[in-house]
Amino acid sequence: MKKVVKFGGSSLASAEQFKKVGDIIRADESRVYVVPSAPGKRFSDDTKVTDLLYKCYGSVADEVKFEKYLETIKERYNEIIEGLGLDLSLDKEFEVIRKDFLAKAGREYAASRGEFLNGIIMANYLGYEFIDAAEVVLFDSTGKFDAEKTNAVLSKRLANVPKAVIPGFYGAMEDGTIKTFSRGGSDLTGSIVAKAARVDMYENWTDVSGFMVADPRIVNSPKVIEAITYKELRELSYMGATVLHEDAIFPISKEGIAINIRNTNAPEDKGTLIVEATCRQPKYVITGIAGKQGFASITIEKAMMNSEIGFCRKVLQVFEDNHISIEHMPSGIDTMSVFVHQSEFEEKEQRVIAGIHQAVNPDSVDLESDLALIAVVGRGMKAKRGTSGKIFDALAQAHVNVRMIDQGSSELNIVIGVRNHDFDNAIKAIYNTFVK
């Protein structure tokens, strides 16, 4: 059994947190590849090292500010090194970093140093080999992540290294230019390493005991999801549930490697298991609820719309021509609605309306703004009669007016459109109906 373990920024924010991580790794021989983030926040209004690095790089022109930021970053690492009692100095690395910053090595290079330095400390602390991600996580000449090449190079490298630390978040192009993934991208590095090393499990250690059924900022102490499939997770992440980077499941979803979300501060909790498929019945009919606010709908009405071949295509062409992506598209006999992101649509709305008139000559075009979409997701819904009935009953009882309903053909999710101001109440009502 081999595992990749990835630790998020809050798990590595201080020497105290590093010690918890050390205990976790040493408690299980199979935790052989470690992917660290940069030190995160130690307390709620602390600043993540990644953000300090961006600021430091942004202030290169102002010597006083630049030196101050660099000193603050150095102190963060020295505090960890001293707290762990390590015989290690990062002075040389910081000299290189200072020179590279002054030579304008790039914002991505700057940000990547957070993981790079933390990786060196982690490797020293554990006695594992340090592998610089720049050598094994590869981007092509256009700056796009090269999955195939990375997998070939990384698996070859890991074949001879039984235990290693590979910093998260970055890699490099062939000419050595450092590239980073989007924020939170160390999750992706974890998946990439898990695939290349063909491990049995990818443990992703963070500061919560797993994926919750609903957003804890809306529902008080929501239950933790014990097991969730990649597909369910994709639906929930897309609709705004965070914890794991949205793209982290792609590298391993075809490999059958499970991801286990765990809590560094409560290692005895089992967390959430993310799998390709499972016989485990979900505890509740629904697996999770997530949602996003800030949508607008455009409803187009025309008598006999149904018999007009190409009607939908012509309408959609107008959105495409205006570079607006479409979120949902419920339709009736003589109406079709298109849901879009309000912020993307607002400045183009008059152009879109005019375009629709020209394209299909409708009887009317109506706009509605400040809408929210809520996805109720669950592999268990397919087999259970009355799920949608229960959802709408709960919403009616909570006095929430439903503006749109869309059930995915996989029967894995039901998407409901409500007004922004009903968003929290709707989620609470659905949660309370299914989770007890």
Residues forming the site for ligand ASP (CB under 6 A): 9, 37-38, 48, 50, 114, 168-169, 183-186
Is the Cβ of residue 113 or residue 428 nearer to ligand ASP in the bound state? Answer: 113
Q: Provide the pairing of β-strand 164-165 with 31-36.
A: parallel
Q: How many CB atoms within 10 Å of residue 142?
A: 7
Tell me how far, at minimum, the Cβ of 213 lies from ligand ASP, in Å: 24
Tell me how far, at minimum, the Cβ of 78 lies from ligand ASP, in Å: 19
Is the Cβ of residue 48 or residue 379 nearer to ligand ASP in the bound state? Answer: 48
CB 257 within 8 A of CB 200: yes
Tell me how far, at minimum, the Cβ of 40 lies from ligand ASP, in Å: 7
Q: How many CB atoms within 10 Å of residue 110?
A: 24
Question: Alpha helix (H) ranges present in 162-310?
Answer: 186-196, 230-238, 250-253
Tell me how far, at minimum, the Cβ of 47 lies from ligand ASP, in Å: 11
Q: What is the CA radius of gyration of the chain?
A: 25
- CA 58, 60, 65, 66 dihedral sign is positive
Tell me how far, at minimum, the Cβ of 197 lies from ligand ASP, in Å: 19
Which residues have a Cβ under 8 Å from the Cβ of 177 and sit 6 or more positions away? 106, 109
Q: Which residue is nearest to ligand ASP (CB)?
A: 186
* Helix (DSSP H) and strand (DSSP E) numbers for the chain: 15, 17
Is the Cβ of residue 219 or residue 252 nearer to ligand ASP in the bound state? Answer: 252
Is the Cβ of residue 261 or residue 372 nearer to ligand ASP in the bound state? Answer: 261
Torsion of CA 43, 49, 52, 53, to 10 degrees: -170
Tell me how far, at minimum, the Cβ of 252 lies from ligand ASP, in Å: 17
Is the Cβ of residue 211 or residue 431 nearer to ligand ASP in the bound state? Answer: 211
For residues 341 and 58, what is the distance between their CA atoms, to the nearest angstrom? 31
Tell me how far, at minimum, the Cβ of 36 lies from ligand ASP, in Å: 9
Is the Cβ of residue 111 or residue 356 nearer to ligand ASP in the bound state? Answer: 111
Is the Cβ of residue 185 or residue 282 nearer to ligand ASP in the bound state? Answer: 185
Torsion of CA 339, 342, 347, 348, to 10 degrees: -10
